[in-house]
Structure 1
Amino acid sequence: MKSYLLHLGRLLLSSVILFLVVITVLFFLLELAPGDPVQSLVGDVPISPEFRAQITAAYGLDLPAWQRYFAYIANVLTGNLGYSFGTNNEPVLDLILSRAGNTLALAVPAFILSTVGGIILGSIAARTRRRWLDAGISGIAVGLFSVPSFWFGMLLIMVFSLWLGWFPTQGKAPYGESGIALPYLVLPVITMATSELAYKTRIMRSSMIESLGQDFIDTARSKGLNPRRVLWGHALPNALLPMVTVAGYSLGFIFAGSTLVESVFGWPGMGLLFVDAINSQNNMVVLGVAIVLTVTIIIVNFLTDIVYGLVDPRLRARFTRKAGAPA
């Protein structure tokens, strides 16, 4: 137990270090980025030096970069992500939280669809190894994994929205209505899930093939068990162990990939907020969204490591041996 807690402590420390590195790199990259945030704030109109100095001082842009960096780190550690550049001067955290639900509405169904679909398709491909069904599933998976998500999303819009007219192209609900309408959800979720579905299918196929080659599978077959029961009842639980890690990490990729998907479909989530903030040089919002996404990914990965350590008997045995080893 002590060895396992030490392992978790190392994971937590590495997560904190990664978090600080991400903030530092992003902050100074934005500092080096070309453009004038003051001019972006007021628009394409001439401004007097006095007015520019007033805006610069109001947002703290007159301070040295290193001083603003440490002040920003101190604010982030207390949950203050700063204020958005704009007329409303809205807190960045409130702005992000108002969009987070829309991003979750895409990410959660995409995660479930890609994980469940990957397990089923990968298992079927492994069961029909070296046959036409395996070749078809594997070939389609490789193809879909190679396709950029924004291109695939535009292809879906062209086919199912413009040609067939089945689904809308932009937004999350008809104009003037609140909430999320199901027809607006279908194409973005499929786009977000497709690449991860293809990857998980390949991983599950390899894991299932390895599981089907184990001795306990031969024992189950020798007892005359139904092939489906051997596949789903005996081989599948053992093959799911690598999927725990893959599924956990994929959730982070899904959140990160929401930027492109939301931009293609005009979905008002954190990804679209991130893109709009970059275009308007709203650095506080850019940093805020990046920090929230980074924290989310780090937490998911940390929890994935914990879950994997609990479900994998090999890791439990390793920590048990270390704990019981003589000093």
Structure 2
Amino acid sequence: MKSYVVHVGKLLLSSLLLFLVVITVLFFLLELAPGDPVQTLVGDVPISPEFRAQITAAYGLDQPVWQRYLAYVGNVLTGNLGYSFGTNNEPVLGLILSRAGNTLALAVPAFLISTIGGIVLGSIAARTRRRWLDGGISGIAVGLFSVPGFWLGMILILIFSLTLGWFPTQGKAPYGQSGISLRYLVLPVITMAATELAYKTRIMRASMIESLGQDFIDTARSKGLSPQRVLWQHALPNALLPMVTVAGYSLGFLFAGSALVESVFGWPGMGLLFVDAINSQNNMVVLGVAIVLTVTIIIVNILTDIVYGLVDPRLRARFARTTGARA
């Protein structure tokens, strides 16, 4: 157990160093990006040198880069992501949190659909290996994995919104209504889940084929168990281990990859906020969204590593041997 705690401690330390590297790279990339943040702030209107100097001083843009960097790192580590370059001067963190629920409303259903669907379809494909059902599932999975998400979203809009009129094209609810309408949720969730479903199906198929070739499966069959019981009760638990890692990483990817889907469907989440901030050169919001996404991905990866260490008997045995040898 002590060895496992040390492992988790090293994981947390490496994650903190990764976080510092990420925010450093993001900060200096935006510093090197072309454009005039002061002009972007006031809009496409002429401004006097006095007013420019006033805005520059108000936002700390007159300070050296290294001072702005140190101040920003200190603020980030204390949870202060600064203020948006806008007329309302909203806190960046509050602006992001107001959109986080909408992104979760897409990412969580897409994660559940892709994970459960990938496990079921991958298991069926492995069970019917080299038959027409396996070929059909594998072919569709390869096709979906090859399709860019934004292109799939536009095709779904063309077919189910513009042609059939079943679903709306933009937004999260009818005009003037609050909350999220189910009809507005269907197409973006399908778009987000499609690629992940295809990838997880392929991973699960390969893992299940490997599991079905183990000696304990032959033992289960020799006892006269039905093929369905062998598949779901014996092969499936062993084949699920790689899916723990894949599912954990995919959740972070869904958050990070939401920008394109939200842009296509006009979904007011963190991804669309990120794209709008880039277009308006609102660097504080760009940095804030990137940092929140980075923290989310790091936390998900840490939890994935911890869960995998708890459920994988090989890792538990390795930590037990390490602890025993040190004792």
TM-score band, normalised by shorter chain: over 0.9
Amino acid at match of 1:34: P
1:173-219 Cα distance to aligned partner (Å, 9 max, x none) = 00000000000000000000111100000000000000000111111
Rounded to whole Å, the distance in 2 between the matches of 1:300 and 1:265 is 26
1:8 shift after superposition: 0.6
Please give the residue correspondences for 1:51-90 in structure 2 after superposition, counting only pairs within 5 Å.
Answer: 51-90=51-90
Please give the residue correspondences for 1:129-278 in structure 2 after superposition, counting only pairs within 5 Å.
Answer: 129-278=129-278
In structure 1, what is the equivalent of residue 98 of structure 2?
98
Rounded to whole Å, the distance in 2 between the matches of 1:147 and 1:53 is 49
Rounded to whole Å, the distance in 2 between the matches of 1:112 and 1:166 is 24
1:297-324 Cα distance to aligned partner (Å, 9 max, x none) = 0000000000000000000000000000
1:36 shift after superposition: 0.6
Rounded to whole Å, the distance in 1 between the matches of 2:323 and 2:241 is 23
Task: Give the TM-score of the pair, scaled to structure 1.
Answer: 0.99
In structure 2, what is the equivalent of residue 112 of structure 1?
112
1:6 shift after superposition: 1.0
Amino acid at match of 2:223: K
Distance 1:326 1:65, change over 3 A: closer
SS at the partner of 1:188?
helix
1:127-156 Cα distance to aligned partner (Å, 9 max, x none) = 000111111111111111111100111111
1:296 aligns with 2:296: yes
1:224-257 Cα distance to aligned partner (Å, 9 max, x none) = 1111111111110110011000000000110011
Higher alpha-carbon deviation: 1-10 or 115-124: 1-10
Rounded to whole Å, the distance in 2 between the matches of 1:110 and 1:236 is 22
Rounded to whole Å, the distance in 2 between the matches of 1:110 and 1:156 is 16
In structure 1, what is the equivalent of residue 16 of structure 2?
16
- Structure 2 unpaired stretches of 5+: none
Rounded to whole Å, the distance in 1 between the matches of 2:195 and 2:117 is 12
Amino acid at match of 1:225: L
1:26-63 Cα distance to aligned partner (Å, 9 max, x none) = 00000000001111111111111111111111111111
Rounded to whole Å, the distance in 1 between the matches of 2:132 and 2:53 is 70
Rounded to whole Å, the distance in 2 between the matches of 1:226 and 1:322 is 40
1:273-311 Cα distance to aligned partner (Å, 9 max, x none) = 000000000000000000000000000000000000000
Amino acid at match of 1:173: A
In structure 1, what is the equivalent of residue 126 of structure 2?
126
Distance 1:120 1:51, change over 3 A: same
Distance 1:272 1:326, change over 3 A: closer
1:2 shift after superposition: 1.3
SS at the partner of 1:176?
coil
Amino acid at match of 1:189: V
Alignment size in residue pairs:
327
1:99 shift after superposition: 0.3
Rounded to whole Å, the distance in 2 between the matches of 1:57 and 1:281 is 18
SS at the partner of 1:325?
helix
Task: Give the TM-score of the pair, scaled to structure 2.
Answer: 0.99
Amino acid at match of 2:38: V
Amino acid at match of 1:196: E
- Structure 1 unpaired stretches of 5+: none
1:326 shift after superposition: 4.7
